[in-house]
Amino acid sequence: MSTVTAEELRERVRAFLAEHDPAVEDRLDFLRARFDAGLAWVHYPVGLGGLAAPRQLQQVVDAELEAAGAPDNDPQRIGIGLGMAAPTILKFGHDEQRRRYLRPLWTGEEVWCQLFSEPGAGSDLAALSTRAVRDGDEWVLDGQKVWTSLAHTARFAILVARTDPGLPKHKGLTYFLCDMTDPGVEVRPLRQITGEAEFNEVFLTGVRIPDSQRLGEVGQGWQVAMGTLMNERVAIGGSNTARESGMIGVVADQWRQHPELRTPGLHDRLLRLWVEAEATRLTGLRLRQQLAVGSPGPEGSAVKLAFARLNQQISGFELELLGEAGLTYDDWTFRRPDTTDFTSRSAGYRYLRAKGNSIEGGTSEVLRNIIAERILGLPAEPRTDKDVPWKELPR
């Protein structure tokens, strides 16, 4: 770990800005130069967008660049790449993979998606049936993935497939990096309750993936996937946000602007939701501080669980607060959005979209099991299929 100080980092950023003026330099050229200067992820290794500095110093870099009017890398649009693919590639990838993928991932030149869930393997990811069969220096993949955000815009995907059906379901998996432009990859939209097709189903038919795009060892797919999912839950529920931001901020603003909507009962409920939202925000902040000295653990599951429950409760409260006006919904238009927007859309959209928060990134039921077993130390649920070869399991 580098011993660079916050002041030394500020000086490095100012020197960078003196050479790369964001007011005149092309946006993409600026982002590439920032990555090469080690100012993308300061905690990443030198040469891979970082300076091997403490993670918490990233806020020093971001503040200096924001004050100078520098462009960002549109983190919402590339959130899966930043929050899930990048840390997984850094931990499990070899040097060539890190050099190839991390820079265009961070600059937003290549969008990433996640090919994990399947129609028969959602909450039980280890039951997935997409097959990968070795053919020389390539793997041939056949199967179907579902609930895939950004598949319609992604260049690459992180993917888990079954390479040995003769082993128990957790042991016969391997992790790949899939080029979404390869022959045999078909993306179809899934229209959801909001009227949009934010998600997709992806069909893989004879897709050939070079062994050089395998991440981790053959059969190590479950361990690599768990690293991805722990990072995902932190990315979803543990983001670094300001007080009264997100959905609780929207509802609090409506409360202040419309005194005619207030009742004593609603006032009590709003206060309780505000306190819970602030407690969850601070817990997420503490979790990010813990990440500065280690890898994400099961604590991210607790924050993500709280995030989902709060979003659903706050969006339901908002509809009650608005009364008849909350029942209108004018967003029923087929769109293929690149991001999920909870703050600038209608109350009806927020209410409907929040229903997915308890499914995406790990269902709330699965997260409760993780919390019970891995944080509280409670006895695990009986798993009769744990040591049975996958090919012998009923499906």
Helix (H) or strand (E) holding 252: helix 246-257
Tell me which fold the domain 225-375 belongs to: Butyryl-CoA Dehydrogenase, subunit A; domain 3 (1.20.140)
Is pLDDT larger for residue 217 or for residue 281?
217
Report the alpha-carbon distance of residue 239 to residue 34 in Å, rounded: 22
For residues 192 and 39, which has the higher predicted lDDT (pLDDT)? 39
Report for 19-33, 229-243, 325-339, 377-391: range of highest mean pLDDT = 19-33
* Environment class of 234 (CB within 10 Å of its CB; exposed 0-12, middle 13-18, buried 19+): buried
Q: Write down the pTM of the prediction.
A: 0.87
Q: Residue 333 — pLDDT band, cuts 50, 70, 90?
A: confident
Q: In the structure, what pLDDT confidence band is assigned to residue 385 with cuts at 50, 70 and 90? A: confident
For the CA atoms of 388, 389, 393, 395, the dihedral, rounded to the nearest 10 degrees, stands at 140
**Tens digits of per-residue pLDDT, 107-136?**
999 999 999 999 988 778 999 999 999 999
Measure the CA–CA gap between 379 and 377, rounded to whole angstroms: 7
Indicate the pLDDT class of residue 242, thresholds 50, 70 and 90. confident
Q: Which residue has the higher pLDDT, 78 or 360?
A: 78
Lowest mean pLDDT among 122-136, 306-320, 327-341: 327-341
pLDDT tens, residue by residue, 152-181: 999 999 999 999 999 999 999 999 999 999
What DSSP element (H or E) covers 175?
Answer: strand 173-179
- Distance, CA of 145 to CA of 120 (rounded, Å): 10
Percent of the chain with pLDDT over 90: 66
CA distance 104 to 156: 11
pLDDT for 240: 61
Q: Produce one character per residue of 141-164: b if its CB has 16 or more CB atoms within 10 Å, e if not.
A: bbbbbbbbbbbbbbebbbbbbbbb
* CB distance 362 to 354 below 8 Å: no
For residue 300, the model assigns a pLDDT of 75
How does residue 2 score in pLDDT terms, banded at 50, 70 and 90?
Answer: low
C-alpha atoms less than 13 angstroms from C-alpha of 299 in its C-beta half-sphere: 15
pLDDT of 142 strictly over 80: yes
pLDDT band at 326 (very low <50, low <70, confident <90, very high): confident
Please list, in sequence order, all residues whose beta carbon lies within 8 angstroms of the beta carbon of residue 13, skipping any fewer than 6 positions away. 39, 60, 61, 64, 65
Residue 12 tokens, joined? 């490095």
Residue 232 designated active-site: yes
The full set of domain ranges for the chain reads 1-72, 225-375
Average pLDDT, the chain: 91
pLDDT classification of 284: cutoffs 50, 70, 90: confident
The catalytic residue among 64, 118, 198, 232 is 232
pLDDT value at position 1? 61
Structure token digits, residue 323? 């009364």
> For residue range 192-237, what is the model confidence (pLDDT) as tens digits?
899 899 899 999 999 999 999 999 999 999 999 998 987 765 665 5
Give the whole-angstrom CA distance, residue 34 versus residue 28. Answer: 10
